[in-house]
Amino acid sequence: MAARIEHVVVLMLENRSFDCMLGRLYAGDPSYQGLTLNESNFYEMTYGVWNDPQMTPAAACIPDPDPGEAFTDMNVQLFGQEVRPQPAQTPTMLGFARNYGLLGTSGSYRDPGAVMHYFTPEQVPVMSALARAFGVSDRWHASAPCQTWPNRFFAHTGTSLGYVDNNTFHIPFEAPSLLRRLEDRGIYWRVYFHDMPQSILLRDVWKCALSRYRLFGQFLADAHTGALPNYSFIEPRYFTDLFSNLIPNDEHPPHNVLYGEQLIAQVYNAVRSSPCWKETLLIITYDEHGGCYDHVPPPAAVPPDGAMNNAYGFRFDAYGVRVPAVIVSPYISSGSKVRPSGDTPFDHASIIRTVREIFGLGDAFTARDEAAPNLLDALSLAAPNNDGPISLTAALDTPDPDKFPELGNSMTNGMQTALSAAAKLLPDTPLAFDTQVPNAAGLPSDPPDTVARSLANVTVRTRGFLGL
């Protein structure tokens, strides 16, 4: 590897598909697997892909309400039915509108076409500018066709141990993690977070490395002083914070994508102005598509292991839907379309594979990260000469103070419910967990609470557990 990379920074956002965010980045370019505007779904009528040209706060939150993201929802989106076909078939990608419309039959009305909405490059200018100034991958898939937690744990461990839904996970999560291996090899790492880091549920970091967890402000400080770790993983804000008047910046529908744009700009500006810049690789991606439309069928995948802790018989032998992936480094040529050399696409296990090879971390964790292509070929410049934009600014509406009580009193989405339930399972200290029987039943099945109450629970339990 010619490029000298000493710092890898990963920002993982929430629940947007590639077509939703980057489908029109290179409009009319036949070499780019974006939207042609001829794509459609049918549910009682035809719904084509579409864009709202007025980037109002409401448009920035489409689709609203939140689409389905459970395993059965994604089967409908991909195949038109809740049960995955056996033997395996190529997904038709024709069930997104149908799934969204069906979710509205038992509650408030849902426009089936909302999930077919996409943003133009002018509407998400920060992500688009970085994709053009550095590299974008139109061949990055979520690791599995299921919810947030399975996919995020693929980024840390190369597996979800057979779990497909957030509410069935065993806590703590027992798979060996990239974070622990970095720690054992003396490679400096940190997880930076806003309210609750999901990786806190990894058992193998509980006894050795909770001091590595820091609030996001520390990332900005570490970048400024040139003290970035060798590996940084950044988690966005998942909850509305009434006390600080802060809006979620995770982009999880129906959260406003412009706050995610602001977070991307903050991360890039911090890295770009850091003394560490010339030796940094920044990866910006999303955990899964969250029900938003994408037209490219996910291909078959190498199962990570033999685990199958789900009632559906799913062996994790297929990827999930494509997600946005922007690759930033001064070693990347401007305008790069970052693709693997073979037929295997990038997925979240590619993060592990790339970090393992950069820092010489040894053997693969699972068969999935062994098979995953790495990103090193994208670092093609002989010297770190692509400095890109000096800084980027996100267009951002000022939050309306009168809206905060409404946001705080709203019901939690599936992600927020799972995070709050997981926080309730955290012991007072890591060592206290060894005196308890692991919760083999997974997450509590408590009904969703309000956003404000859930955040209060998360804040108390998480920061107490981390000693912050």
Give backbone dihedrals phi and psi of 69, rounded to 5 degrees, phi first: -135, 10
What is the pairing mode between strands 135-136 and 325-328?
A: antiparallel
Q: Contact at 8 Å (CB) between 330 and 386?
A: yes
> Could you give phi then psi for residue 213, rounded to 5 degrees?
-90, 130
Residues 316 and 303: beta-carbon distance below 8 Å: yes
Q: What is the pLDDT of residue 437?
A: 47
3-class SS letters over 238-307: CCCECCCCECCCCCCCCCCHHHHHHHHHHHHHHHHCCCCHHHEEEEEEECCCCCCCCCCCCCECCCCCCC
Q: Give CA separation, 433 vs 153, 157, 172, 182, 428, in Å.
A: 21, 21, 9, 23, 8
pLDDT exceeds 80 at position 440: no
- In tens, the pLDDT along 138-183 reads 999 999 999 999 999 999 999 999 999 988 888 889 999 999 999 9
Torsion-angle region of 218 (φ positive above 0: left; ψ -120 to 50: alpha; else: beta): alpha
Residue 398 has pLDDT above 80, yes or no: no
Tell me how far apart the alpha carbons of residues 64 and 66 are, in angstroms, rounded to a whole number. 5
**Burial of 284 by CB count in 10 Å (0-12 exposed, 13-18 middle, 19+ buried)?**
buried
Predicted confidence (pLDDT) at residue 434 exceeds the cutoff of 70:
no
Does residue 41 belong to any structural domain of this protein?
no
What pLDDT, in 10s, does the model give residues 193-241?
Answer: 999 999 999 999 987 778 899 999 999 999 999 999 999 999 999 999 8
Read off the pLDDT of residues 293-331 as tens digits, 9 standing for 90 and up. 999 999 999 999 999 999 999 999 999 999 999 999 999
Q: Token pair of 298, please?
A: 């996910």
Is 307 domain-assigned? yes
Distance of alpha carbon 210 from alpha carbon 203, whole angstroms: 11
Residue at 45 is within a domain:
no
CB 64 within 8 A of CB 254: yes
Q: What is the pLDDT of residues 273-284, one digit of tens each?
A: 999 999 999 999
Give yes or no for residue 461 having a pLDDT over 50.
yes
392, 371, 247: which is closest to 326 by C-alpha? Answer: 392
**3-class secondary structure, 232:** strand
Number of domains making up the chain: 1
Residue 106 carries which DSSP code? G
Residues 253-273 as b or e (16 or more Cβ within 10 Å = b): bbbbbbbbbbbbbbbbbbbbe
Does pLDDT of 413 surpass 90? no
User: Residue 278 and residue 290: Cα distance in Å, rounded?
Assistant: 34
Q: How far is residue 105's CA from residue 90's CA, in Å, rounded to a whole number?
A: 28
Query: What residues make up the domain containing 199?
Result: 7-25+121-378
Is 128 contained in some domain? yes
pLDDT in tens, 99-146: 999 987 666 678 999 999 999 999 999 999 999 999 999 999 999 999
Is 144 contained in some domain? yes
Torsion sign (Cα): 412, 416, 421, 425: negative
Mean pLDDT on 76-85: 96
Q: Is 88 within a domain?
A: no
What pLDDT band is residue 424 in, cutting at 50, 70 and 90? Answer: confident
Helix axes 125-133, 257-272, angle to 10 degrees: 40
* Single-letter amino acid code for the residue at 190: R
pLDDT classification of 407: cutoffs 50, 70, 90: confident
**Range name among 2-6, 33-37, 339-343, 426-430 with the lowest pLDDT average:** 426-430
262 within some domain = yes
Both tokens of 222, joined, read: 């570490």
Is 346 part of a structural domain of the chain?
Answer: yes
Question: What tokens were used for 168?
Answer: 């069935």
* CATH number of the CATH domain containing 372: 3.40.720.10
Tokens of 189: 């790492």
Q: Rounded to 5 degrees, what are φ and ψ at 158?
A: 80, 10
Residue 37 to residue 298: CA distance in whole angstroms: 20
CB 350 within 8 A of CB 398: no
Residue 230 phi, psi (nearest 5) = -65, -35
Which CA distances in Å does 113 have to 178, 251, 253, 345? Answer: 39, 19, 14, 28
